[in-house]
Structure formats: C-alpha cells, structure tokens
C-alpha cells in the first residue's frame, strides 16, 4: 500500500499544505490553545516551541502496539515539548524540561535524513510522537524526505489535544492516527494536564482522524497500513472516565474501533505529591476497565498486562538508553 503523502508530493499539494501551515505560525493557532504567538519570528508561546523542530530522540522503537512495531520496529521521532503539561507525565524529561527544547533544535534537512535512516533500518513506519505543536515542521521534513526517497507510512502519535483545523491539513498525509483519549471530564483535563476543554477537543479531533483514515487496516503480516488506533490510559480512582470514553468510542466513532488499553500508569513526575495520583492502579480497577471492552463490544486492539507499569517506564536521561539521541 502506497503512503498517502507520496501522491500529494508528486502533485505539488504537499508543498501547498506546508505553505498554509507555515503561515499559521505567524500567529500560532496550531492547537486548541491558539496562543497567537509569532513563531516565525522566534517568539515562544505556551508550549515554548519556536520555529525550528526540536527533537529529543530518533530510534527504532519496539514498545509500541504490535501492529506498529512489527518485527522491524516503529521509526519513532520524539519531538521535545508538548502542548499539555500532565503532572504524571512519564516522558516529562523531554516534554516539560525547557533545556531539552533548546538543545534538541535541529535543521529540517538533518531530520529528513534521520527519517531515511529509519527506513534503511527496516522500520515499518515513521512515528511522530507529540507532533501537535510542530505540525508545519513535521510536514516540511516529510516533504524533504519524500524528495530523498522516503516511502514509509506516517503515524501521528498525539495526546489527542489537537485542532480539527490543523488535522484537516493533514488529510491524505497521515496514514495512521494514534491519539490518546485521556479524560471524559473537563475538570480533570484542566487540573491534571492544564488542558482546557480537553474532552471536547479530543473527541472532535478523533472524529476527524477517523473520517480521514477509518478503522485500522493491516497487511498480511499484521502490520498497520492505515487507520485509527485510540490509546486509553487507565488512571487511579477512575479519573480517566473510562466508561464514558470507551462507550463514546464504540457508539459514536465506530463499533470496529481499535483501542489500546494501557495499564502502565506510574506516579511519575509530580504525581506522588497528588493524593489521587500517588499510587498505581489496582488489579480490581483494571479488571473493571477491561470488562468495559466486552460490555461495549470493543473487540479490536490490545490490553496491556498489569506489569507494564514497570516495563514501560522510560528514562530519557539514562546513559545507554535507546531514547538518548546519538
């Protein structure tokens, strides 16, 4: 299956999309915050990102969903920074520390060459992690990489706190959408992630993503070619609103929706100081949530084992870590 952006590259449409997206950086409205910052002039808004892309890591990653990792790994580009600020973020070393945004700044051509390197390593896809605040930069890198021979499908791996207007510019560019659906209650989105109106924005974004790519399609080896995968992280005390979110996905998005249910919550970053987040989820809480999949008829996807709270905990600063860029 041919990656969608290649046709747009050959027709010149990809370059036109880039120009429209780049123009929006003059008064940045890429995400729901709509800061209005002039990033073309080097100004920095809520996410503290400027014009150049900032990358914390590029690697062949095997910790993703099986349909993304396959046997060759997912070619993962971890952007630095984020348009949310989750107090329990496991990736806080690259998403919330300001020094990483500056030290990770790179040229478009250098990053494009990294995408080709991932392709040469045998990765199944290019997986852009936390791209919501770097969409124009991402598209420019894809444009340059396509001219060099990139053919892998693209994964847009986000928190779900995305702008529908921005996503519409990605129609036909992104092959696989991998958003989170964090909360069902606006209160917790604000308190735990500083993300106003998270449920409304994430649900609108997921609807748009599904409109573009539909249900997940895989090849004969089970590797994803196109479609939507929604991640849902179970939080202690029902803070994620799992019943509401899973019911909405099954009833309002698609009965065939693919869900990745995650048990890997760990009280990282500032979570230990928060009384509701200072513990891992219990076996009973997780069993209750997995039961919702059957209740709502969600049969496509993956369910993490309880031990994932330890095995999926990254350390981006550890010497020898595969997450540390070369």
Rg over CA atoms, the chain = 18
The pLDDT tens digits of the residues spanning 227-248 come to 999 999 999 999 999 999 999 9
- The pTM assigned to this predicted structure is 0.94
How high is the pLDDT of residue 63? 84
Per-residue pLDDT at 8 exceeds 50: yes
* Of the candidate ranges 73-82, 126-135, 153-162, 309-318, the one whose mean pLDDT is the lowest: 309-318
How high is the pLDDT of residue 317? 45
Closest CA to 62 of 2, 117, 125, 134: 125
The pLDDT tens digits of the residues spanning 183-210 come to 999 999 999 999 999 999 999 999 999 9
CA distance 123 to 71: 8
Per-residue pLDDT at 310 exceeds 70: no
How high is the pLDDT of residue 2? 78
Average pLDDT over residues 199-222: 98
How high is the pLDDT of residue 71? 96
Pairing of strands 224-233, 176-179: parallel
Domains of the chain (ranges plus CATH)? 4-311 (3.20.20.70)
Per-residue pLDDT at 324 exceeds 60: no
The pLDDT tens digits of the residues spanning 9-27 come to 999 999 999 999 999 999 9
Closest CA to 85 of 76, 75, 98: 98
> Could you tell me which residue, 2 or 82, shows the higher pLDDT?
82
- Please list the residues that pair with 77 across neighbouring strands: 58, 128
Instruction: List Cα–Cα distances, 59 to 62, 121, 127, in angstroms.
Output: 9, 10, 10
The pLDDT tens digits of the residues spanning 142-169 come to 999 999 999 999 999 999 999 999 999 9
Check if the beta carbon of residue 24 is closer than 8 Å to that of residue 136. Answer: yes
How high is the pLDDT of residue 94? 80
Q: Which residues contact 17 (CB under 8 A, 6 or more apart)?
A: 8, 139, 169, 170, 173
> Could you tell me which residue, 64 or 208, shows the higher pLDDT?
208
DSSP state, 58?
E
Check if the beta carbon of residue 102 is closer than 8 Å to that of residue 145. Answer: no
SS3 87: coil
Residue 302's Cβ-count burial label (10 Å; 0-12, 13-18, 19+) is middle
Residue 212's Cβ-count burial label (10 Å; 0-12, 13-18, 19+) is buried
Per-residue pLDDT at 326 exceeds 50: no
> Could you tell me which residue, 104 or 312, shows the higher pLDDT?
104
How high is the pLDDT of residue 30? 98
CA distance 82 to 163: 14
How high is the pLDDT of residue 311? 53
Per-residue pLDDT at 309 exceeds 60: no
């Amino acid at each position: 299956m041919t990656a969608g952006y290649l046709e747009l590259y050959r027709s010149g449409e990809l370059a036109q999309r880039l120009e429209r997206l780049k123009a929006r950086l003059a008064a940045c409205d890429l995400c729901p915050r709509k800061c209005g910052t002039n990033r073309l002039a080097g100004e920095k808004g809520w996410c503290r990102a400027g014009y150049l892309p900032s990358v914390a890591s590029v690697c062949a990653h095997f910790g993703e969903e099986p349909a993304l990792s396959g046997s060759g790994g997912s070619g993962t580009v971890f952007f630095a920074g984020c348009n949310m600020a989750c107090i329990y973020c496991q990736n806080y070393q690259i998403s919330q520390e300001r020094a990483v945004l500056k030290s990770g700044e790179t040229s478009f051509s250098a990053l494009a060459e990294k995408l080709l390197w991932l392709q040469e390593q045998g990765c199944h896809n290019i997986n852009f992690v936390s791209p919501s605040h770097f969409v124009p930069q991402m598209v420019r890198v894809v444009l340059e990489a396509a001219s060099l021979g990139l053919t892998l499908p693209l994964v847009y791996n986000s928190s779900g706190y995305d702008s529908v207007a921005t996503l519409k510019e990605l129609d036909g560019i992104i092959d696989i959408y991998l958003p989170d659906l964090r909360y069902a209650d606006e209160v917790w989105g604000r308190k735990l992630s500083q993300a106003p109106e998270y449920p409304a924005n994430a649900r609108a974004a997921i609807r748009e993503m599904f409109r573009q790519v539909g249900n997940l399609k895989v090849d004969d080896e089970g590797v994803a070619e196109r479609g939507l995968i929604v991640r849902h992280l179970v939080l202690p005390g029902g803070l994620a609103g799992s019943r509401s979110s899973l019911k909405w996905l099954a009833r309002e998005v698609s009965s065939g929706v693919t869900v990745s249910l995650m048990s890997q919550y760990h009280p990282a970053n500032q979570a230990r100081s928060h009384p509701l987040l200072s513990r891992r989820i219990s076996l009973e809480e997780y069993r209750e949530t997995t039961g919702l999949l059957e209740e709502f008829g969600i049969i496509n996807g993956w369910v993490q084992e309880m031990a994932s709270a330890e095995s999926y905990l990254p350390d981006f600063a550890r010497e020898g870590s595969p997450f540390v860029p070369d």
